[in-house]
A and B are shown apart, each in its own frame.
Chain A
Amino acid sequence: MPPIPSSEITPEALFWNRRRFIQTALAGAALTLPGCAATSPVTTATPAPDAPAAPTAPAGAGKVTGTSDELGQPLTEFAAVTGYNNYYEFTTDKQAVAATAANFVASPWSVQVDGLVAKPRQFALEDILKLGNEERIYRLRCVEGWSMVIPWSGFSLNKLLALVEPTSAAKYVRFETLNDSSRMPGQKEPWYTWPYAEGLRLDEAMHDLTLIATGVYGNPLPAQNGAPLRLAVPWKYGFKSIKAIVRITLTDTQPTSLWMAAAPDEYGFYANVNPRVDHPRWSQADERRIGESGRRETLMFNGYDKQVASLYTGMDLRKFY
């Protein structure tokens, strides 16, 4: 098939905007017809099992094999995944991150892996990319109460950690984002303590689900999603999945994340998705899936309880939030 000139392809954003406009118009019609709400498709919280899945390869996206997660929940639209981002290093306006980050240059890039390890090492991005590129469809649940289903690609973090050989003294892993306000203008904002930092317990970091994502929707990670590499820890709130990582440090003390420092009573170290432990100020019992109307019930450990619940046996998750 001859390649289609890019000038003839409807820009992804425009295409979905039209669809969304129609959906919203329908939703608006429901406003005047509250009695019809129960039968209106736009107000159905959970799509019927036979509802059409999101398209697998919209314009702009690369090749993605799966169409849904393991629970049958369809992928969130490519436009939303790459156009609706919480990334304060660029801007707090989620829908403006992509434009603000458009000129971000993520190469050359290297990641320092150090601390309590036998073989500390500076990895060039090229070497990290060789560690694997498998597709993983994960749910992402933001602490703000919205969620997506995202086809990441990358490899389990434990592959990288194995290369540096953590010592027996290592108990935690600390991650740090690039600290360069000339490239990340949001870091000029003095309200937060930069650079963004996050942490995992070593056993959480070694869990197979804990992913270093280097791509999304079959493409290399775009800047707004955390180029060139980020964490994806699907059973924790999204803010744990730190972006644009430059340093990974094995330590024996629990790292303090940016959000723990900003509001210690609201954001804990664990930040496991838990519908029974509310944020001090808002409920975590339900979530809005981007692209849907109505709310889904939030699942324990974001639906990954079978895989990860054993990590927290005997822990009071209300105390270790």
Chain B
Amino acid sequence: MNRLSIRISAHLIGLIPLLWYASTLWRHGWPLDPVASYTAASGTAALQLIVASLAVTPLQRLSGRSSLGVMRRPLGLYAFAYTMAHLLVYVMLDYAWNWHQISQNIFDKRHLIAGLIATALLIPLALTSTSGWQKYLGRWWKRLHRIVYGAAGLAVLHYVWLVKSDTRIPYLYATIIAILLLMRLLPLRKVLHAQSR
């Protein structure tokens, strides 16, 4: 795969949640509680894209294709876009800009605090995602972008804390994220090469 097709596949992956949601609307009709539906869909999409962006490094290592690295930026930016959509639905549609109601909620509930911090952490990453910033920040760029691990952890915590009772799916995301982070620590390629020899 050349760089262009890798880039295109990153965009396709980023658009999957949107296309999936459109197909859900097509199949099931317009949601009767649109706000709840948009909230769940945008939040899930954001988490899925964070997972996808975290999967790039392990995939690079497993496949030995360093060219897959170009997927990181678009996947991360899609995660950021879905997160912003999630926040906008909350502020604009759910609470209709009622700052009084929002403020009496947001600093009181741990899942909202976790979600808010995760969102805030993604902002500098999105702003410094350009090649210009990457060059300007040099080795600090990589360090800065490790913030995404914290954002991913907080995002999944946000999910665990908000579900009514059945925590299986949020814990599934937590497990996947944990595995993806652990894979960075293990010398996977060495292990694989040792086996193939």
- A-to-B contact residues, CB < 8 Å: 13-14, 17, 20-21, 24, 27, 30-31, 34, 37-38, 43-45, 79-80, 83-84, 92, 94-96, 143-144, 146, 191-192, 259, 262-263, 266, 278, 281-283, 285-286, 288, 290, 293-295, 297
A281–B33 contact, CB under 8 A?
A: no
**Contact partners of B111 in chain A: CB under 8 A:** 281-282
CB <8 Å contact, A290 and B105: no
By a CB distance below 8 angstroms, the chain B residues around A263 are 165
Asked whether A283 and B105 contact (CB < 8 A) given A294-B98, A295-B95, the answer is: yes
Chain B residues near A96 (CB-CB < 8 A): 28
Q: List 7 A-B contacts (CB under 8 A).
A: A13-B29, A21-B30, A84-B33, A95-B28, A146-B36, A278-B108, A282-B162
**Contact between A283 and B104 (Cβ–Cβ < 8 Å)?**
yes
User: Whole-angstrom distance from the CB of B10 to the nearest CB of chain A?
Assistant: 26
Across the interface, which residues of A come within 8 angstroms of B148, CB to CB?
A: none
Q: How far is the CA of A21 from the CA of B25 in the complex (A)?
A: 11
A304 to B56: give the CA distance in the assembly, Å. Answer: 55
Contacts of B168 in A (CB 8 A): 191
Q: Is the CB of B97 within 8 A of A38?
A: yes
Residue of A nearest to B88 (CB): A31
B98 touching A144, Cβ below 8 Å: no
Candidates A17, A281, A293, A297; contact of B96 at CB < 8 Å: A293
Name B residues whose Cβ lies closer than 8 Å to a Cβ of A. Answer: 28-36, 88, 92-98, 101, 104-105, 108-111, 161-162, 164-166, 168
Q: Is the CB of A290 within 8 A of B33?
A: yes
Provide the residues of chain A in CB contact with B161, threshold 8 Å.
281
Q: Is there an interface contact between A27 and B93, defined as CB atoms closer than 8 Å?
A: yes
Q: Which residues of B lie under 8 Å from residue A288 when comparing CB positions?
A: 33, 35-36, 94
B101 and A286: CB pair below 8 A? yes
Q: Which of B31, B96, B162 contacts A45 (CB 8 A)?
A: B96
Q: Are A79 and B32 in contact (CB under 8 A)?
A: yes
Shortest CB distance B112–A (Å): 8
Query: In the bound complex, what is the Cα–Cα distance between A80 and B31 (angstroms)?
Result: 9
CB–CB B166/A92 < 8 A = yes
B32, B36, B95, B162 — which one has the most chain A CB atoms within 10 A of its CB? B32
- Given A263-B165, A285-B104, A80-B95 contact (CB < 8 Å): no
